[in-house]
Amino acid sequence: TALLWTARPALVAGAGAAIGCGCVWVGLALAAMFNLPPSFLVVTLAFVAWAVSAALRGRSAAHGTSGHAHDHHHPPAVRLSA
């Protein structure tokens, strides 16, 4: 999920850890509130975070607003003329 937002290793590690911890804590709280298995909720929250991130990144890429002014890791697609 973090890799969808940045390709910088330190930021990916930090954001990934924050997303993971957030999913665990929210999942545990919801499990206690609704008497559901915590593993299901943690994985579901992590999936939802990924799905929302992928949808937002896909939408911004479709509109040409990737958020990266100069991205060395994802160069622009080369268009071949007919």
pTM, two decimals, is: 0.71
Pick from 71, 64, 62: which is nearest to 5 by CA?
A: 71
Distance CA 25, CA 2 (A): 18
pLDDT reported for residue 58: 84
pLDDT tens digits for 27-42? Answer: 999 999 999 999 999 9
DSSP-assigned states of every residue in 40-63: HHHHHHHHHHHHHHHHHHHHHHHT
pLDDT < 70 regions, the chain = 61-82
For the chain, percent of residues with pLDDT exceeding 90: 68
DSSP category for residue 67? S
